[in-house]
Amino acid sequence: MTLFQKIIDREIPAKIVYEDDDVLAFLDISQQTPGHTLVIPKKATASVLTAPEETIAVVNIQAAKIAKSLIDALGASGANLLSNAGEVAGQTVFHYHVHIIPRYEEDELKLDIKEHSSTIDEVYETIKEVF
Ligand code: AMP
Tens digits of pLDDT across the chain (131 residues): 999 999 999 999 999 999 999 999 999 999 999 999 999 999 999 999 999 999 999 999 999 999 999 999 999 999 999 999 999 999 999 999 999 999 999 998 888 888 899 999 999 999 999 99
Q: Please state, in angstroms and rounded to a whole number, the distance separating the CA atoms of residues 63 and 53.
A: 15
Question: The domain containing residue 85 runs over which residues?
Answer: 3-127
Which listed residue (36, 95, 97, 99) is catalytic?
A: 97
Three-state DSSP class for 19? strand
Active site includes 97? yes
* Residue 3 near ligand 1, beta carbon < 6 Å: yes
Q: How far is the CA of 22 from the centre of ligand 1 (A)?
A: 19
**Number of structural domains the chain divides into:** 1
* Residue 64 near ligand 1, beta carbon < 6 Å: no
- Complete DSSP assignment for 58-114: HHHHHHHHHHHHHHHHHT-SEEEEE---SGGGT--S-S--EEEEEE-TT--------
pTM above the 0.85 mark? yes
CATH of residue 48's domain is 3.30.428.10
